[in-house]
Amino acid sequence: MHVFAADLADQAGPDTLIAAIAAAALPVDILVNNAGFGARGDFAELDSALQLGMIDLNCRALVALTHAVLPQMIARGSGGILNLASVASFQPGPWMAVYYASKAFVLSFSEALHEEVKGKGVRVAALCPGPTRTEFADVAGLGDTALFERLASDPAAVVRDGLAALAANRAVKVSGALNFAMAEGIRFTPRSIARRIAGSLQKARG
């Protein structure tokens, strides 16, 4: 087994990783873009570098890695790309404004790419989990709240949903019945109300 380490938050990180894979002459059959982090708080008060770094990791690195491996997948007529979006993708999120926006980007980008390559033998899917019991929650300041404990999913179940969606070439998969109901409900909710609901949830987590 080969393991290559790279800091994807660094703008040179994706190129470093792809170069190491190429030097080992390894094809990329499946790319899982799972790297990302969130931060909760007032946008004006959160550190600017932190939030720009969030965009770099959640969006820029994902696009860079996808662009690096997609041409070879198209040339082979096979391959899969699974991008980690979120139920946060479906509405604005006051007090996690940049994180929600970054995941909306991932969802939109993934759906567009799915349509572009679906006739070329390459599968692209966006996985949209809700709160999940991983270290992400601790970094984002969510892990020690009662709300998180009630709603959080098991990571193994989320992984299974993502891999099944990629195998079936589903453009979007919302993991978990409650998360699916919430994501569907947002479609019929005025955006002014949706953003207030999301904001109240973030405040409750405090």
* Catalytic residue ranges: 99
Contact, 66 vs 33, CB < 8 A?
yes
